[in-house]
C-alpha cells in the first residue's frame, strides 16, 4: 500500500531533508525517480516524442522526410495552439511523495527547457492553498473599503476601463530552494529553483485605484484578500501599493490564467510571491498590519536565536545556471554555451559572474537579452569544456551593489531554520561523463 | 500538558512595538496615470454599502477589531474540535500525518528542528480566529458560525495551555489572550544582512564538497521499476483521487473509508466494483456518513470518477 501524505508545503519543505531518509522504500524510490529521471535516461513515463538521437536520424540529407512530401494540418486544427508533441515532457511537475493532496500544494516550472526571460503562461509554477477556483468573471467583484473616502465595488468591466499598464516582472515563491537550507537535497533544477517564473503582466496600478477611492490620513497598510476557499490574505504596506503594485488581468498578452488568479490578481514586483494575492476580491485599507496566518505562522524567517523576522517582503538577488544542469547534461568535451537566469527584487541585474572551480575564480558572463528591473535576466558565456570535472556556480550582482552570498555567508547570519529567502550561490557538480548533480561546497 | 503559562503572565507580556518595515528600494517606472486626478475622477463601479462590506469583511485584527458579537467556551469547543478538526489536526493538536501541528513545541524555536505552533510560535490570537474563520475546516471554509469559531479558538488556546478549561472567549475576554507567548520575538526585516564582496580570483584557498543528495545507482534503477509499475496502474485515477476525493478519503473525514484501510473497504469491495462506481457517481448515504455524488465535484466526468474508484480499490485491497 502506498501511504499517502498530505500537503502542508512549508512545513514539509523543512522536512524534506530528513524525509528523504525516512521515506518508506517505495516512496523513496519514487522520489529518487522523480529527481533523477534525467540521469536514468529518458523518463520512462514521458512516452511520446523525444528527439531522435543524433546519428540515427532517418531523414538526414540527402533523404527527404515525409512531412516535406505531404500536406500538414489545416488552420485551426488547434483553435488554441499547443506546443509540439515532441515537447511533451516540458511540463510543470510536483513532488508526488511530498503531497497526496494537490489542493494545498505546489508545482514547479521546468526552468531547464525555457529560453529567454518570459515563462509561458502554462508553465508558470502553481501554488494553491485551497485548490484552483473556477471563477466566472461576470460574477467577480473587487471591493475596496476601510480608511477610504469612497468604498466601492468594481466589476471586471469597471476595472478594464482604468488606464492600463504592462510590466515584465518575475514571480518567486519565498520558499523557492527552501529545501536546500540544511544541505543539497533536490536532484533537478526544476525542484531546486522552479518556484520561479517571469511574465508580462498587464493591469491597473494599485495607486490609480487608491487615488480613485481616496485614502484617508493615517492609512498605512492594505489587506489584500483572495476569493478562493483559503481567502488567502496578506498585509501590504502603503509605500509598495503606491510604488509599483499592479492589479493584473492579463498575462503574456492574454487573460490571466486560472492558475494565476483569473480573473484578477495582485502583483507586487520583486516581493514574495505569496503577497501577490490571486483571485483578488478585497482590498481593505487600514492603519496597521493585519497579522494574517501567512505573515506570522508562515512567511516569517526564524533566526538561530529564536527571533523571527516578519514582513520580509523583498526577494534578494539570486541566480542559477540552467545549462548545464541535471536536466541538461553535456555530451562530451568541446565548446558550449553556458546559460542561466539571474534576478533581484531590488531592481535590475547589473552583472553575473560564473565560476567553474567552486568559487575560487570567476569570469564575467554576458547579459544576453532584455534587462528589466525585478525581472528574470538571461546570462550566458562561451566555454570550452576539457572533459574534466567542474564545480559550476553563478553569482548575481544587482544595481544596488548587492552581491549574492555563499551558503557559508548566508548561514552565518541566518542559521538553517528560516525556510524562506534562500538566495545562496548554487553549485552544479559536472562529472567527467557529462552528467550534472546538485552539491553544496565549502 | 503542563500549564506553564497562566493568565497573569499573559497579561504582562510586553506590547509589541508596531513594526517598521524596511522597504525594497523603489524602482522608478513610468506611471501611465496622471497624478492628482482626485477622488472619484473616474466614477467607475458602485459605492459599497455597509451591508455589502459586512458580508466580505471577515478579518480580525490583533486588537480585536472585526470580532463579531457572541462568545464560545472551551467546553463547547472541545466537541466541535473533535468533530470538525481532530481528524486532521489530532485530538491534542498534535497533527495527523503531515497535517499541521497546532499545539506544543514550546521552547523548540532554537532547536535543530523547531516546532512552530499556535502556542510556541504565533504572535496574535486574532490570527487564529481569523484563519479558522476564513480557511477551516479545510474542506468547508467559511462554514462555521461566529460562536463556533469562538469556541474552537478557545479550545485551541486550551490545547496550548494558554487558558483554563472554564474559559469563555468573547470581545469582553479578548484582551486577556490577545497576545500569544511568542509575541515579543518577532522583529523587523534587517536585510540586506549579508555583505558579500565581488572577488574575481583567488577568492578562497580550496573547495570541498560538503553536501550532496544521498543516492546510489541501484536506487535509481529501482526507482525506474516502481514508476513503471505505478504508471501501468492508474495514473489518471490517482490524479482525480488526489484532486477530488483525498480531502475526505485520506483521513476518513466525515466517515469516509480511508484509502488503504483494507478492513474498512473489505465489505464495500464485496458489493462489486459496479455498485461502488454507482455510489461514487450518484452519491450514497450509508451508516458511516454521506458520500456526495462525484465527491461534490460535478465538473468531473463519469470516466474520471470511475478511474478514481478503480485507483482507490487497488490501493485499498
For residue B199, the tally of other CB atoms under 10 A from its CB is 15
Contact state of A440 with B191 under an 8 Å Cβ cutoff: no
Chain A contact set for B44 (CB, 8 A): 152, 154, 158-159, 161-162, 212
Residue B106, SS3? coil
Find the mean pLDDT for residues B147-176.
Answer: 98
Contact between A434 and A330 under an 8 Å Cβ cutoff? The reply is yes
* Choices 1.20.1740.10, 3.40.630.30, 3.30.2010.10, 1.10.760.10: CATH for B217-316: 1.10.760.10
Q: Read off the pLDDT band of B288 (50, 70, 90).
A: confident
Contacts of B193 (CB under 8 A, 6+ apart): A413, A414
For residue B91, the tally of other CB atoms under 10 A from its CB is 13
Task: Give contacts of B 79-138 with A, CB under 8 A.
Answer: 88, 97-100, 109-110, 112-114, 116, 118, 121-124, 126-127, 130-131, 134-135, 138
Return the minimum-mean-pLDDT range out of A176-180, A259-263, A421-425: A176-180
Residue found by looking up cell 492553498 in the block: A129
For residue A298, the tally of other CB atoms under 10 A from its CB is 20
At residue A334, the pLDDT reads: 97
A205 touches chain B (CB under 8 A): yes
Q: How far is CA B225 from the centre of its chain?
A: 35
Model pLDDT for residues B181-234, shown as the tens digit of each residue: 999 999 999 999 999 999 999 999 999 999 998 654 344 434 433 333 343 457
Q: Read off the pLDDT band of B36 (50, 70, 90).
A: low
B166 touches chain A (CB under 8 A): no
Task: Give contacts of B 264-293 with A, CB under 8 A.
Answer: none
Contact between B51 and A161 under an 8 Å Cβ cutoff? The reply is no
Nearest Cα residue to B104 out of B124, B85, B120, B90: B120
Domain boundaries, chain B: 1-46, 71-185, 217-316
Nearest Cα residue to A221 out of A169, A319, A295: A295
For residue B274, the distance in angstroms to the closest alpha carbon of chain A comes to 23
Q: Read off the pLDDT band of B64 (50, 70, 90).
A: very high
What distances in angstroms separate CA A205 from CA A22, A249, B175, one per listed residue? Answer: 48, 11, 38
As a whole number of Å, the end-to-end CA separation of chain A is: 41
B229 touches chain A (CB under 8 A): no
Closest residue in B to A188 (Cα–Cα): B213
A197 pLDDT exceeds 70? yes
Tell me: ipTM over 0.95: no
Model pLDDT for residues A372-395, shown as the tens digit of each residue: 999 999 999 999 999 999 999 999
Find the mean pLDDT for residues A4-21.
Answer: 38
Residues B293 and B302: their CA atoms lie apart, in Å, by: 11
What distances in angstroms separate CA B98 from CA A11, A16, A164, B89, one per listed residue? Answer: 8, 12, 43, 9
Q: Cell numbers of A251, please?
A: 498575462
Q: Cell numbers of B203, please?
A: 577568492
- Which residue in A5, A45, A306 is closest to B97 by CB distance? A5
What distances in angstroms separate CA A158 from CA A143, A165, B36, one per listed residue? Answer: 12, 16, 20
Residue B234, SS3? coil
Chain B contact set for A373 (CB, 8 A): 27, 29
A123 pLDDT exceeds 70? yes
Find the mean pLDDT for residues A389-403.
Answer: 98
Residues B277 and B301: their CA atoms lie apart, in Å, by: 12
Model pLDDT for residues A29-82, shown as the tens digit of each residue: 444 444 433 333 333 333 333 344 445 688 999 999 999 999 999 999 999 999
Mean per-residue pLDDT of chain A = 89
At residue B298, the pLDDT reads: 81
Side-by-side strand order, sheet with A390-398: A363-364, A349-355, A390-398, A427-430, A436-441, B209-211
Q: Cell numbers of B96, please?
A: 495527523
Q: Read off the pLDDT band of B17 (50, 70, 90).
A: very low
Return the minimum-mean-pLDDT range out of A155-169, A172-186, B121-135: A172-186
Residues B27 and A239: their CA atoms lie apart, in Å, by: 12
Chain A contact set for B220 (CB, 8 A): 32-33, 36, 39-40
Contact between A82 and A161 under an 8 Å Cβ cutoff? The reply is no
Nearest Cα residue to A142 out of A45, A263, A293, A43: A263
Find the mean pLDDT for residues A224-253.
Answer: 98
Chain B contact set for A243 (CB, 8 A): 26-27
Q: Read off the pLDDT band of B94 (50, 70, 90).
A: very high
Instruction: Tell me A268's DSSP state.
Output: -
Q: Which of A18, A33, A223, A395 to mutate to test the interface with B (most CBs of B within 10 A)?
A: A33
State phi, psi for A140 to the nearest 5 degrees. -95, 140
Residues A225 and A280: their CA atoms lie apart, in Å, by: 6
Task: Give contacts of B 11-50 with A, CB under 8 A.
Answer: 18-19, 21, 23-27, 29, 31-33, 35, 37-42, 44-48
Find the mean pLDDT for residues A7-14.
Answer: 39
Residues B132 and B143: their CA atoms lie apart, in Å, by: 10
Q: Read off the pLDDT band of A23 (50, 70, 90).
A: very low
Contact between A149 and A99 under an 8 Å Cβ cutoff? The reply is no
Q: Read off the pLDDT band of A175 (50, 70, 90).
A: very high
Q: Which of A154, A184, A305, A310 to mutate to test the interface with B (most CBs of B within 10 A)?
A: A310
Chain A contact set for B259 (CB, 8 A): 4
Q: Read off the pLDDT band of A26 (50, 70, 90).
A: very low
At residue A56, the pLDDT reads: 67
B247 touches chain A (CB under 8 A): yes
B57 touches chain A (CB under 8 A): yes
Find the mean pLDDT for residues B233-238.
Answer: 75
For chain B, give the longest Cα–Cα distance.
74
Chain B contact set for A309 (CB, 8 A): 186-190
Note the residue count of chain B. 317
Residue A214, SS3? coil
Contact between B149 and B59 under an 8 Å Cβ cutoff? The reply is no
Beta-carbon-side half-sphere exposure of residue B310 (alpha carbons within 13 Å):
13
Residue found by looking up cell 496600478 in the block: A205
B130 pLDDT exceeds 90? yes
**β-strand partners of A308:** A302, B186
Chain B contact set for A345 (CB, 8 A): 24
Contact between A106 and A94 under an 8 Å Cβ cutoff? The reply is yes
Contact state of A167 with B250 under an 8 Å Cβ cutoff: no
Q: Which helix (H) or strand (E) holds A381?
A: strand A377-385
Q: Read off the pLDDT band of B22 (50, 70, 90).
A: very low
Contact state of A36 with B223 under an 8 Å Cβ cutoff: yes
Nearest Cα residue to A211 out of B88, B129, B35: B35
Residues B161 and B180: their CA atoms lie apart, in Å, by: 11
Residues A350 and A371: their CA atoms lie apart, in Å, by: 9
Contact state of B203 with A360 under an 8 Å Cβ cutoff: yes
Q: Read off the pLDDT band of A101 (50, 70, 90).
A: confident
A237 touches chain B (CB under 8 A): yes
Beta B290-291 vs B284-285: how paired, if at all? antiparallel
Contact state of B124 with A296 under an 8 Å Cβ cutoff: yes
For residue A327, the distance in angstroms to the closest alpha carbon of chain B comes to 15
Find the mean pLDDT for residues B250-274.
Answer: 86
Q: Which helix (H) or strand (E) holds A428?
A: strand A427-430
* Choices 1.10.760.10, 3.60.15.10, 3.30.43.10, 1.20.1070.10: CATH for B71-185: 1.10.760.10
Residues B223 and A27: their CA atoms lie apart, in Å, by: 9
Same fold, B71-185 and B217-316: yes
Residues B31 and B317: their CA atoms lie apart, in Å, by: 62
Helices (H), A222-329: 238-243
Chain B contact set for A391 (CB, 8 A): 207, 209
Instruction: Tell me A260's DSSP state.
Output: G
Amino acid at each position: 500500500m502506498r501511504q499517502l501524505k498530505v500537503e502542508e508545503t512549508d512545513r514539509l519543505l523543512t522536512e524534506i531533508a530528513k524525509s528523504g531518509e525516512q521515506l518508506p522504500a517505495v516512496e523513496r524510490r519514487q522520489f529518487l525517480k522523480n529527481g533523477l529521471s534525467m540521469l536514468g535516461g529518458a523518463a520512462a513515463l514521458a512516452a511520446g516524442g523525444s528527439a531522435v538521437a543524433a546519428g540515427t536520424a532517418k531523414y538526414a540529407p540527402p533523404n527527404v522526410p515525409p512531412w516535406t512530401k505531404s500536406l500538414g494540418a489545416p488552420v485551426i486544427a488547434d483553435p488554441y495552439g499547443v506546443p509540439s508533441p515532441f515537447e511533451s515532457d516540458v511540463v510543470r511537475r510536483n513532488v508526488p511523495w511530498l503531497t497526496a493532496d494537490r489542493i494545498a500544494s505546489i508545482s514547479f516550472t521546468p526552468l531547464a527547457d525555457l529560453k529567454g526571460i518570459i515563462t509561458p503562461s502554462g508553465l508558470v509554477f502553481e501554488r494553491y492553498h485551497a485548490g484552483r477556483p473556477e471563477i466566472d468573471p461576470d460574477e467577480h467583484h473587487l471591493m475596496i473599503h476601510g480608511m477610504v473616502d469612497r468604498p466601492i465595488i468594481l466589476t471586471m468591466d469597471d476595472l478594464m476601463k482604468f488606464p492600463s499598464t504592462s510590466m515584465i516582472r518575475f514571480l518567486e515563491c519565498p520558499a523557492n530552494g527552501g529545501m536546500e537550507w540544511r544541505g543539497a537535497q533536490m536532484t533537478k533544477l526544476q525542484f531546486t529553483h522552479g518556484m520561479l517564473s517571469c511574465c508580462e503582466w498587464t493591469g491597473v496600478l494599485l495607486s490609480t485605484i487608491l487615488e480613485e477611492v481616496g485614502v484617508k490620513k493615517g492609512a498605512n497598510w492594505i489587506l489584500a484578500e483572495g476569493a478562493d476557499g483559503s481567502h488567502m490574505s496578506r498585509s501590504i504596506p502603503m509605500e509598495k501599493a503606491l510604488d509599483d503594485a499592479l492589479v493584473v488581468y492579463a498575462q503574456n498578452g492574454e487573460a490571466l490564467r486560472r492558475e494565476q488568479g483569473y480573473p484578477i490578481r495582485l502583483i507586487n514586483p520583486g516581493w514574495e510571491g505569496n503577497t501577490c494575492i490571486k483571485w483578488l476580491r478585497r482590498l481593505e485599507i487600514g492603519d496597521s498590519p493585519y497579522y494574517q496566518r501567512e505573515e506570522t505562522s508562515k512567511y516569517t524567517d526564524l533566526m538561530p536565536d529564536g527571533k523571527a523576522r516578519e514582513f520580509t517582503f523583498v526577494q534578494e538577488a539570486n541566480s542559477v545556471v540552467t545549462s548545464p544542469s541535471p536536466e541538461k547534461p553535456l555530451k562530451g568535451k568541446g565548446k558550449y554555451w553556458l546559460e542561466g537566469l539571474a534576478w533581484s527584487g531590488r531592481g535590475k541585474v547589473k552583472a553575473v559572474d560564473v565560476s567553474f572551480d567552486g568559487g575560487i575564480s570567476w569570469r564575467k558572463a554576458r547579459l544576453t537579452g532584455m534587462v528589466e528591473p525585478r525581472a528574470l535576466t538571461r546570462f550566458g558565456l562561451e566555454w570550452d569544456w576539457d572533459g574534466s570535472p567542474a564545480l559550476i556556480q553563478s553569482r548575481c550582482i544587482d544595481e544596488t551593489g548587492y552581491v549574492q552570498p555563499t551558503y557559508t555567508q548566508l548561514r552565518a547570519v541566518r542559521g538553517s531554520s528560516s525556510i524562506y529567502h534562500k538566495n545562496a550561490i548554487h553549485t552544479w557538480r559536472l562529472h567527467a561523463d557529462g552528467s550534472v548533480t546538485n552539491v553544496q561546497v565549502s | 500538558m503542563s500549564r506553564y503559562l497562566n493568565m497573569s503572565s499573559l497579561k504582562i507580556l510586553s506590547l509589541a512595538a508596531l513594526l517598521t518595515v524596511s522597504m525594497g528600494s523603489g524602482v522608478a517606472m513610468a506611471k501611465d496615470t496622471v497624478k492628482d486626478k482626485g477622488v472619484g475622477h473616474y466614477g467607475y463601479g458602485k459605492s459599497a454599502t455597509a451591508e455589502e462590506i459586512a458580508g466580505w469583511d471577515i478579518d480580525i485584527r490583533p486588537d480585536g477589531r472585526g470580532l463579531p458579537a457572541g462568545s464560545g467556551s472551551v467546553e463547547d469547543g472541545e466537541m466541535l474540535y473533535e468533530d470538525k478538526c481532530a481528524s486532521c489536526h489530532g485530538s491534542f493538536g498534535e497533527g495527523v500525518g503531515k497535517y499541521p501541528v497546532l499545539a506544543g513545541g514550546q521552547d523548540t524555536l532554537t532547536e535543530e528542528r523547531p516546532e512552530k505552533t499556535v502556542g510556541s510560535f504565533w504572535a496574535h490570537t486574532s490570527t487564529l480566529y481569523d484563519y479558522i474563520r476564513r480557511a477551516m475546516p479545510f474542506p468547508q471554509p467559511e462554514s462555521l458560525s461566529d460562536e463556533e469559531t469562538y469556541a474552537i479558538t478557545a479550545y485551541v488556546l486550551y490545547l496550548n495551555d494558554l487558558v483554563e478549561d472554564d474559559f469563555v472567549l468573547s470581545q469582553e475576554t479578548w484582551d486577556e489572550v490577545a497576545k500569544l507567548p511568542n509575541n515579543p520575538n518577532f522583529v523587523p526585516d534587517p536585510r540586506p544582512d549579508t555583505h558579500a564582496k565581488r572577488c574575481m580570483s583567488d577568492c578562497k584557498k580550496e573547495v570541498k564538497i560538503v553536501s550532496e543528495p544521498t543516492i546510489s545507482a541501484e536506487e535509481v534503477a529501482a526507482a525506474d521499476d516502481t514508476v513503471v509499475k505505478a504508471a501501468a496502474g492508474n495514473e489518471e485515477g490517482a490524479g482525480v483521487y488526489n484532486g477530488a476525493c483525498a480531502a475526505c478519503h485520506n483521513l476518513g473525514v466525515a466517515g469516509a473509508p480511508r484509502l488503504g484501510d483494507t478492513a474498512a473497504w473489505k465489505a464495500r469491495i464485496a458489493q462489486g466494483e459496479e455498485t461502488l462506481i454507482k455510489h461514487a457517481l450518484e452519491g450514497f448515504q450509508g451508516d458511516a456518513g454521506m458520500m456526495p455524488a462525484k465527491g461534490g465535484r460535478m465538473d468531473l466526468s463519469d470516466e474520471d470518477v470511475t478511474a478514481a474508484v478503480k485507483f482507490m480499490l487497488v490501493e485499498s485491497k
